[in-house]
Amino acid sequence: MKKLFILFSVIASFALIGFSSAKACENKNDVPLTSLSAGFDAWKVVTSAMEECGNFTPTLDQDYKDKIVAALDSNPSQYALAGVSASTNVSVLDAGLTRPLDDLIAKHGGALQDNQKVTINGQVMAIAMMTNAQHLFYREDILNDLGIDVPTTYDEVIKAAKIIQNAGVVDYPLGGTFAAGWNLGEEFINMYLGYADTFFDENMPAVNNANGYETLKMLKKLTEYMDPEYLTSDSTYVQQQFQQGKIAMANLWASRAGAMDNAEESSVVGLVKFASAPTTIRGGKPASTLWWDGVVIAKNISDEEAEAAFKLAMVGLDPSNLGESPEAAPWISSAFDPAPSNIGAVMTAKGGAAPYPASAKMSTLHGVLGNTLPDYLTGAATAKATLEKIEADYITAATEKGLL
């Protein structure tokens, strides 16, 4: 399914390029350049503007993280530019595959804001272009008809789900990106951060506690109101469930918000509204993590290529370009005037949701979570056994990596 989605996104990106009103690019690019990034709408907006300048071939691939390290590690690098998330940035940064951008910013980066610069020990290593977070999507019409207030806590979500289920207006009250693997791991991390602040005690995992137990229980409660096939349900699947009017609420990525009002795909145009991710404790912080996506430039390319790549990236990230598609993502840009579809992400950030604690340790735990949780949700393992297994598997994995 993933492969097909890639194909679909590549075709979609071509279609988008074909139809977008061709803006003339002011700085023609004459150095052949390539890029690798994820394939969601925001990247289409950025890379299609860059393509107008010529000599540029983007690769939009939802599985980009599987190849980014190997691709940038070769010399010369397979791609001049790469799109990274808060978490994949760790992999290229730790491997020393990206170059500092301070000189290039001084020359060509006048339009950048300070909060776009991702710095490590004072050196700019990446340019952030958007934030992303999972937050509440809900069908306003259904909630209004049934007289339900927009839920702000997960207990309210469950209550609302019960009412919606009894009313029988949609197939399933809730959707969720609960696909086994990375998605499910992310759900746990989001929910856990609603109860607690940290996953580790020094180097050791610290999730086998009351917070971990509450997190598991809440995740399981949510699944009772979902399509029973939730363990195969990824972001695209949840997006489609919304678009086809099958679900009423879900905690979904901000980068998917624009698609709700895409009249070509969606049968619920104008009906889906957005709010902050719910909290687990009344008055607590939203149970979600804040992500950023941005651009890095490979180290293993010539300085001329790097300069051309940076200039090109500035065209893609130009406020005027991003300002034309405010619905595509919560851009970080001076032109950013939150579109209605971005309000959920803004509120989640304002509510104090934690940034995703990206690190090698966290990636390891994330992988373990994604593999361990399905057994709990299907009922094959108890909460206690699951939490013990998470910690034991983490220790095994971290030992093999040398992290302990």
Partner 1 sequence: MNKKTFLIFTMPSFIMMVFFIAIPLFLVFFQSFHFKQDILEIVEREKCDPFGCKTEILKVPVLDEKGNRSKINIWVGWENYKNILKFVDLNSIIQNNGYSWSAIQSIDFYKALRFTLTFTFITLPFVLIFGLCLALCVNNLVNRLKGPVIFITLLPFIITPVIGSLSIKWLFIGDGIITSFLEYILEKDISVFAKAWSIELLVLFYKIWHTTPFAFVIFYAALQTVDKDRIEAAFVDGANRFQRLRYIVIPHIMPLIVFVTLIHLMDAYRVFDEIVGFSAEGFLNSLQWMTYDFLRLDDSGSRYIGRASATSMLTMIGIVIILIPVLRRVFKEQKEKRN
* List of residues contacting partner 1 (CB under 8 A): 1, 3-4, 65-66, 68-69, 73, 86-88, 90-92, 94-96, 115-122, 128, 131, 179-181, 184, 227-232, 290, 292, 299, 332, 349, 355, 358-364, 366-367, 371, 374-375, 377-378, 380-381, 385, 389, 396-397, 399-403
How far apart are alpha carbons 260 and 81 in whole angstroms? 30
Q: Distance (Å, rounded) from C-alpha 321 to C-alpha 378? A: 46
* Nearer of residues 135 and 273 to partner 1, judged by Cβ: 135
- Looking at the Cβ atoms of 43 and 56, the one nearer to partner 1 is 43
Between 44 and 117, CB nearer to partner 1: 117
Nearer to partner 1 by Cβ, of 119 and 262: the residue is 119
- Please, which residues bridge with residue 9 across strands? none
As measured in angstroms, the least distance from the Cβ of 241 to partner 1 is: 9
The rounded distance, in Å, linking the Cα atoms of 226 and 216 is 16
Long-range contacts: 356-359, Cβ < 8 Å, 24+?
356/86, 356/87, 356/189, 356/289, 356/290, 356/291, 357/198, 357/199, 357/289, 358/86, 358/87, 358/89, 358/90, 359/90
Strand partners, 118: 126
Least distance in angstroms from the C-beta of 336 to partner 1? 12
- Phi, psi angles (nearest 5°) of residue 60: -105, 115
Taking the complex as a whole, the smallest distance from the CB of residue 23 to partner 1 amounts, in Å, to 27
DSSP 116: G
The torsion angles phi and psi of 230, rounded to 5 degrees, stand at -60, -25
- Least CB distance to partner 1 at residue 248 (A): 17
Q: For 119-158, b where at least 16 C-beta lie within 10 A, e where not — what string?
A: eeeeebbbbbbbbbbbbbbbbeebbeeeebebbbbbbbbb
Residue 210: burial class (beta carbons within 10 Å; 0-12, 13-18, 19+): exposed
DSSP summary character for residue 98: B
| Triad 273, 181, 59: Cα angle to 5° | 75
Taking the least distance from each CB to partner 1, the nearer of 144 and 198 is 198
* Minimum gap (Å) between residue 70 Cβ and partner 1: 8
Smallest distance, Å, CB 267 to partner 1? 14
Query: Least distance to partner 1 from the beta carbon of 222, Å?
Result: 15
- In whole angstroms, the minimum distance from the beta carbon of 283 to partner 1 comes to 21
Residues with Cβ < 8 Å from 30, sequence gap 6 or more?
A: 54, 55, 308
Minimal distance, residue 90 CB to partner 1, in Å: 5
Minimum CB–partner distance for residue 29 and partner 1 (Å):
27
Residue among 148 and 287 whose Cβ is closer to partner 1: 287
**Shorter beta-carbon distance to partner 1: residue 90 or 271:** 90
Nearer to partner 1, 4 or 24 (CB): 4
Which CB, 2 or 23, lies closer to partner 1? 2
Nearer to partner 1, 44 or 366 (CB): 366
Q: What is the largest CA-CA distance in the chain?
A: 63
**Tokens 């086809």 — which residue?**
244
